[in-house]
Amino acid sequence: MAICMSPFECLKEALDFCAGLIYYISVEIKAEEMLCLPLPDSLKIVLHQNGGIITTAQGNAAGVSNERLRLLEKSGELERAARGIYISPDEFTDKMYIAQLSRPKIIYSHETALFLHGLTDRDPVSYTVTVPSDYNAKSLRRDRFTVFAVKRELHGIGVERLTTMFGHAVAAYGLERTICDCIRSRNQMDIAIVTDAMKRYAKRSDKNLNTLMQMAEVFRVVKPLRSYMEVLL
C-alpha cells in the first residue's frame, strides 16, 4: 500500500535533499581549491634562501600556519621530508642536511666526515654520527644510522661547518678530530678506509699536526697515531 506524505513531510524531504546537495558541492569546491592552493610569496622567498627546504618554524615566521603547510603538501606544492620539515617537489633531497635539521644534536663523524673532507671516495650508504652518551639513539639506529656515543664534554670538540654535495652547511668534525675518531674506532671500521684516509691526510696542505697531537692526547690515541704517522710522514 502506497504511503502518502503530508505537504510538510514532502517539503522537509526536499529541504534535506537540497542541504545534502549543497554540502556535497561545497566539499567538491573545497577539494578543488585545495588542489589549486598557490604557494605564498613569503614562502617562496624562504624556500629560495634555504635551497628548497623549509621548517614549520620558518614557515610560521613567514606568516604561514601549520595547517596551511599541510594543505600545501596535499596540493603538491610541498613535500614532507621529515617531521616539521618540507621541501619543494622539484628540489633534490639533501638527506644529510634534513637529518640534522630534525636532529640538531647529531654531528657527522667517522666515514661520513671523511667523505665531507674528501679523505675517502666512498659515498656513504648510511650516515655515521656521534651523539652525547645520554642521547636516546633508538630512532637513529632504526633509521640505519651508525651511531657513536661520547661523553658530553667531548661531543663538541673539533666541530666545524662543512658543505654537503647539495651546498648546505652541516655540523661535522674537523680534519684532526675525524682522524683521531677513526683511529680510536679502527676496530669498528673498514681498515682500508682508515689507512687510505691517513695517507690522504698526510698529503694535505691544510693539515695541522700540532692540533692532531693535541686531539690525540684528549682522545688517548697518541701511540697508534704515531705508528701511522711514522710510516706516512
How high is the pLDDT of residue 22? Answer: 59
- Of the candidates 116, 56, 46, the one whose C-alpha atom is nearest the C-alpha of residue 82 is 56
Higher pLDDT, 210 or 232: 210
- The answer on 202 and 154 residing in a single domain is yes
The pLDDT confidence band at residue 16, using thresholds 50, 70 and 90, is low
Which residue from 232, 163, 148 is spatially nearest to 198, judged by alpha carbons? 232
Residue range 161-184: mean pLDDT, rounded = 96
Domain check: are 214 and 193 in the same one? yes
What are the backbone dihedrals phi and psi of residue 132, each rounded to the nearest 5 degrees, phi first? -65, 150
Query: How far is Cα 77 from Cα 36, in angstroms, rounded to an integer?
Result: 9
Confidence of residue 81 (pLDDT cuts 50, 70, 90): confident
Is a pLDDT exceeding 50 seen at residue 34? no
Work out the average pLDDT over 2-27. 55
If one counts the domains in the chain, the total is 2
Residue 17 lies in a domain: no
Q: Verify that 70 and 166 share a domain, yes or no.
A: no
**Mean per-residue pLDDT for 35-51?**
80
Alpha-carbon Rg for the chain in angstroms:
28
The two beta strands, 79-82 and 128-132, are: unpaired
Task: Give the domain extent around 195.
Answer: 96-232
Same domain, 72 and 120: no
209 falls in which pLDDT band (50, 70, 90)? very high
C-alpha cell at 31: 577539494
If one compares 47 and 206, the residue with the highest pLDDT of the two is 206
- Sequential DSSP letters for the chain: -PPPPPHHHHHHHHHHHHHHHHHHHHHHHHHHHHHTPPPPHHHHHHHHHTTSEEEHHHHHHTT--HHHHHHHHHTTS-EEEETTEEE-TTSPP-HHHHHHHH-TT-EE-HHHHHHHHTS-----SS-EEEEETTS--HHHHHTT-EEEEE-HHHHTTTEEEEE-TTS-EEEEE-HHHHHHHHHHTGGGS-HHHHHHHHHHHHH-TT--HHHHHHHHHHHT-HHHHHHHHHHH-
| CA nearest to 53, candidates 26, 82, 10 | 82
Does any domain span residue 115? yes
* pLDDT for residue 123: 86
pLDDT at 104: 93
Residues 50 and 74 in one domain: yes
Does residue 150 lie within any of the structural domains?
yes
Give Cα separations from 63 to 40, 43, 44 (angstroms): 9, 8, 12
Tens digit of pLDDT for each residue in 191-208?
999 999 999 999 999 999
Q: What is the mean pLDDT of the chain?
A: 86
Task: Read off the pLDDT band of 17 (50, 70, 90).
Answer: low
Residue 24 lies in a domain: no
Do both 109 and 157 map to the same domain? yes
Residue 57 CB contacts under 8 Å (≥ 6 apart), including other chains:
84
Question: Are 152 and 226 members of one domain?
Answer: yes
- Prediction pTM value: 0.78
